[in-house]
Amino acid sequence: MDRLASVLATLEAEGVTHVLGIPDNTSGPLFDALLTHPAIRLVIVTREGEAFAMASGLWLGGARPLVVVQNTGFLESGDALRGTAGRMGAPIPFLVTGRGYAKMAAAGVDRSTERTRDLLVRADVDSVALLTEPTLDAWAIPWEACGTGRDPAPAIAALLSRANELDRPCALLLTTGLA
Amino acid sequence: MLSRAQLLEPLARHRTDEVVVTTMSVTRPWGRLSSHDLDFGSADSAMGHTADLALGIALARPDRRVVCLNGDGSMLMTLGTLATAVACAAENYVVIVVDNGSYEITGNQPVPGAGRLDFAALARGAGFPRAFRFDDPEEFAAAVPDLLRAPGPTLVDVRVEAGHEGPISRTAKEQARYLRPSLADWSRSFRDALAST
């Protein structure tokens, strides 16, 4: 079974009812597959914060949603995530696909590097990758990373379980492909 | 132009088993009229995201009508939700924009475009099959049964006088039942109540 098929099988097995978000190059194959999925409803939104609020409403209605956003859109979502799923204590799992990580690695930079003005404006570094993990921490989101060489399907299964166990929104930072 | 009571009392009179989601300046007034288990006050919550939250409930429970009493300032923050609601074909979704032209909670500063905005026209542009605008109390009261029952998605822009509702808090002293517990606690009791219907 290929990676995408494993991910879809995981979502089905875990009872995910809705996937909400905006596609990027990493999540695009998943969105494509879900467009015609018979059981999981894909909801493409207009802005990522909308996905977190809608997912919170879906949870209130008894559904089991999964949010999928790029790290750029995650940064846009702060108040929606805090004020809906966070304040409600709703177990909303979400995937954050990581733009800029390859550039960061090529530039010899990691999360421990001081985020100076000179670093944030460098042309060979995408600042969103520098700010994603500190933002997850600052917003008190339990999260794990799934990087190159790791199979995303079991990591997504663990994410879904963790959100339920902790009864709060939890994230999986995905810097490897889904297909 | 309608008063707050002329907006809310016909809705409370005709409401049966609909979910009602409120925010901002109608949160307390609705809570004084209704103590239903399926009321949800999106207060102490995210700025502008009540329409999205209500749409999520509507998608989870297509068998149940979901009415969102949204502010005009709040609606402006998430206009994209209008397009999403149409894309989702959310027939059970009714969003009522309490169009008072101002950010009432903070002292009635004007919203951008106050007095010129037509939310019904915006909704029609997004593809809403049913979009209405009311500024006459009697016409609105007569239309409420149809607004609540006919398949949508439906947007209702109601011109309402600005009032003097202050900031919303969640305390045991609140008259509105849904504002007494924390948002987390009310979310769970609401979820259980909705699941039992």
Report strand pairing: A143-146 vs A170-174: parallel
3-state secondary structure of A10: helix
Domain boundaries, chain A: 3-174
The secondary structure element, H or E, covering residue B20 is strand B19-22
* Contact status of A19 with chain B (Cβ, < 8 Å): no
Q: Which of A49, A61, A122, A86 is nearest to B194 (CA)?
A: A61
> B53 and A44 in contact by Cβ < 8 A?
no
Burial track B111-126 (b if 16+ CB lie within 10 A, e otherwise): beebeebebbebbbeb
Per residue in A56-88, pLDDT tens? 999 999 999 999 999 999 999 999 999 999 999
- How close B94 gets to chain A, by Cα (Å)? 15
Q: How far is B103 from chain A (nearest CA, A)?
A: 18
- Predicted pLDDT at B144: 98
Per-residue pLDDT, A177: 86
Question: Quick check: B60 and A90 CB within 8 A?
Answer: no
Q: Please give the mean pLDDT across all residues of chain B.
A: 96
Mutation pick from A47, A56, A59, A66 vs chain B, by most beta carbons of B within 10 Å, is A56
Residues on chain A touching B20 (C-beta within 8 angstroms): none
Longest dimension (CA), chain A: 49
Whether B45 sits inside 8 A of A83 (CB atoms) is yes
pLDDT, residue B169, reads: 86
What global pTM score does this model have? 0.97
CA-CA distances (angstroms) from residue B180 to A13, B104, B168, B171? Answer: 38, 22, 11, 5
Q: What is the pLDDT of residue A1?
A: 66
Q: Kindly report the CA angle at A71 between A66 and A74, in degrees rounded to 5?
A: 60
Q: Which of residues 65-104 of A touch B (CB under 8 A)?
A: 65, 79-84, 87-90
Q: Is B119 helix (H, G, I), strand (E, B) or coil?
A: helix
User: Can you tell me the ipTM of this complex?
Assistant: 0.97
How far apart CA A133 and CA B66 sit, in angstroms, is 37
Report the residue of chain B nearest A42, measured CA to CA.
B88
Q: Contact at 8 Å (CB) between B68 and B95? A: yes
Is B84 an interface residue toward A (CB < 8 Å)?
Answer: yes
Chain A interface disruption, residue of B23, B49, B77, most A CBs within 10 A: B49
B169 touches chain A (CB under 8 A): no
Show residues of chain B in contact with A43, CB under 8 Å.
Answer: 59, 84, 87-88
Q: In this model, does residue B105 exceed pLDDT 70?
A: yes
Q: Is the pLDDT of residue A111 over 90?
A: no
Strands, E, within B77-189: which ranges? 93-99, 102-103, 109-110, 130-134, 154-159
Encode A34-43: b = buried (16+ Cβ within 10 Å), e = exposed: beeeeebbbb
Q: Which of A4-8, A40-44, A161-165, B163-167 has the lowest mean pLDDT?
A: B163-167
- Overall average pLDDT of the A81-106 stretch: 96
- Domain annotation for chain B: domains and CATH numbers: 4-195 (3.40.50.970)
The answer, yes or no, to whether residue A32 has pLDDT greater than 90, is yes
d(CA A56, CA A63): 9
Report the C-alpha dihedral over residues B60, B64, B65, B66, rounded to 10 degrees: -40
How near does any CA of chain A get to the CA of B123, in Å?
Answer: 15
What's the topology of domain A3-174?
Rossmann fold (3.40.50)
